[in-house]
Amino acid sequence: MVAEDDDKQAELVRRYLEREGHAVRIVGDGRAALDAVRHREPDLLVLDVMMPRTDGLDVVRVLRAEGRELPVLMLTARSTEDDLLLGLDLGADDYLTKPYSPRELMARVRTLLRRARRTAPPGPVAEDPVLRVGALVVDPQRHEVSVGGESVECTRGEFRILAALAAGPDRVFSRQRLLEELHGFDRYISDRTVDVHVMNLRKKIERTPRRPERLLTVFGVGYKLTDPAKDARRA
């Protein structure tokens, strides 16, 4: 589904998607996008931010509040970091700034659809073990996170990164490795996406986000998750 109020832009996106074999439905405002998704949920939503009636950010907010997990690729003319942070924090899976090349758009669509197919189990699956790194607990089966017994709400992207880090405590993960957890390998996806998710995670799991004790940066390499209590005992 393409939610875009610019008819020419919407038609261009439709044309490229159909060339790759996708059936496409176009809606022209945010309220119509919500109604259409509720009527028949698509495999992917390409969503413009600036739309009449209900904007794209509110569409994502409502869809995630309703528990809908469809992948969302946001398109916007805005390019500030605050917009990027807000879009991802609300639960968008990826973010593309206008103007963009159709080739890049299609690459990101393919990546999100591959990721959705990999994470959708065909039937009953074995329960994933609960991951514990000190007071931080990550439950992949229930998609739950807690710190010191207090529940922490995470977007899908944040959860994937945190689960990958928690599965290998004290191990350093490069940004590229974490991108593979988010989207699978694709050269069009920026590692800035990982940095944004890490910034948001620190706000949720650290006592002082500007001086993190759990989710640490290893400069020039990437990130690691550690138990601050264990590090204090070692010291």
pLDDT 10s digits, 56-72: 889 998 998 888 889 99
- Residues with Cβ within 8 Å of 171's Cβ and at least 6 positions away in sequence, in order, are 165, 224
pLDDT in the model for residue 170: 92
Q: What share of the chain is helix, strand, coil (3-state, %, to 5)?
A: 45, 15, 40
Q: Could you tell me which of 182, 176, 129, 140 has the C-alpha nearest to residue 158?
A: 182
Q: What is the pLDDT of residues 123-171, one digit of tens each?
A: 444 455 889 999 999 998 888 999 999 999 988 888 889 999 998 899 9
Instruction: Report the distance separating Cα 231 and Cα 86, nearest Å.
Output: 33
| CA dist list (Å): 170 to 164, 200, 229 | 12, 20, 13
**Other C-beta atoms within 10 Å of 103: how many?**
10
pTM for the model: 0.60
For residues 97 and 76, the answer to whether their CB atoms sit within 8 Å is: yes
Looking at residues 89-105, what average pLDDT do you find? 83
Q: Is the pLDDT of residue 111 over 90?
A: no
> Can you list the pairs that 116-124 forms with residues at least 24 positions away whose Cβ atoms lie under 8 Å?
116/43, 116/44, 116/70, 116/71, 118/184
What is the Cβ-side half-sphere exposure of residue 88, based on CA atoms within 13 angstroms? 23
Give me the residues paired with residue 235 across strands.
none
The identity of residue 202, as a single letter, is R
For residue 175, the 8-state DSSP code is H
Q: How does residue 51 score in pLDDT terms, banded at 50, 70 and 90?
A: confident
Q: Which helix (H) or strand (E) covers residue 2, if one does?
A: strand 2-3
